[in-house]
Amino acid sequence: MTLPAIKPFTYFISDLHLSANRDDINQCLFEFLREHAPKAEALYVLGDLFEVWIGDDDQNDFTLSIANAFSALNQSGVPVYFIHGNRDFLVRERFAKQAGLTILPEQHVVNLYGEATLIMHGDELCTKDTDYQAFRKKARSWWWPRIMLSLPLALRRKLAKKGRATSQQKQSKLSADIMDVTPEEVINYMEKFAVKRLIHGHTHRPAIHDLVINEQSAQRIVLGDWYEQGSVLKVSAENVELTSIQF
């Protein structure tokens, strides 16, 4: 008897916000990497893998466990690609090498079974939040990360804690509209990269949006966060499916 061929597919995840304080999320990721991801052609991590990342020199049991889990998947033959988010933009080659990650540009086009697809974290789409966009421009500059990474590790921890508290306070005062993507910016990016499909995270609003761009059908897919469950996008030539893994 001839067994049916296994149809290829690719996984996308983002906004896991991993930390040593949320072992439930960490264990969910380990299960996903061990039980599900090895069946895929590739895995893409579209930013905010960590709740906070202050530098590759911040080595501890938690960060090493995450690196080892991804490295095991990569060594099994599944390539793992990573795009920086707004929480982990200081990830550099040291951690990438430990984890077996290939770091991609902030915006990247991948051929998904014949469909050119733009992938990104998605924070650049939220242009109505002007204060954040000003910070993003500074944080992605050539000079600011160098200054931050030159500071003592203990000081970076204090600054990260203070920055997170300030960010949470500001977000509590922002409307949902400001924190979501700007529709015109979505179209601008899709036209710039000449694609009909966009995949991103950041907003924590998982959904598949049907669009019309230049009188042609298009699609924007938003990945979910991992605060309550594992959110996974599975893309094949035949189907696009947002799935979840329960804690």
* pLDDT, tens only, 195-227: 999 999 999 999 999 999 999 999 999 999 999
Q: From CA 40, how far away is CA 8, in angstroms rounded?
A: 7
Helix (H) or strand (E) holding 198: strand 197-200
pLDDT attached to residue 120? 98
Q: What is the mean pLDDT of residues 40-45?
A: 98
What pLDDT score does 165 carry? 82
For residue range 120-149, what is the model confidence (pLDDT) as tens digits?
Answer: 999 999 999 999 999 999 999 999 999 999
Distance CA 222, CA 230 (A): 14
* pTM, full prediction: 0.94
Query: Helix (H, G, I), strand (E, B), or coil: what is residue 139?
Result: helix
Phi and psi for 191 in degrees, rounded to 5?
Answer: -70, -40
Q: Could you read off the pLDDT of 16-36 as tens digits, one per residue?
A: 999 999 999 999 999 999 999
The pLDDT of residue 1: 54
Give phi and psi for 35, each to the nearest 5: -100, -30
pLDDT band, very low/low/confident/very high, at 7 (cuts 50, 70, 90) = confident
Report the pLDDT value the prediction gives residue 176, as an integer from 0 to 100.
Answer: 73
The secondary structure element, H or E, covering residue 41 is none
In this prediction, residue 168 carries a pLDDT of 77
Q: Per-residue pLDDT for 6 more than 80?
A: no
Half-sphere CA count of 146, side-chain side, radius 13 A: 3
Percent share of the chain, pLDDT over 70: 97
How far is it, in rounded angstroms, from Cα 39 to Cα 128?
A: 39
Predicted local confidence at residue 4, as pLDDT: 58
Distance in angstroms (rounded) separating the CA atoms of residues 228 and 158: 27
Predicted local confidence at residue 83, as pLDDT: 98
Q: How far, CA to CA in Å, does 111 sit from each of 22, 84, 116, 119, 177? A: 34, 20, 5, 11, 31
How far out from the chain centre does Cα 217 lie? 25
The DSSP string of 43-107 is EEE-S--BS----TT---HHHHHHHHHHHHHHHTT--EEE---SS-TT--HHHHHHHTEEE--SE
pLDDT of residue 3: 56
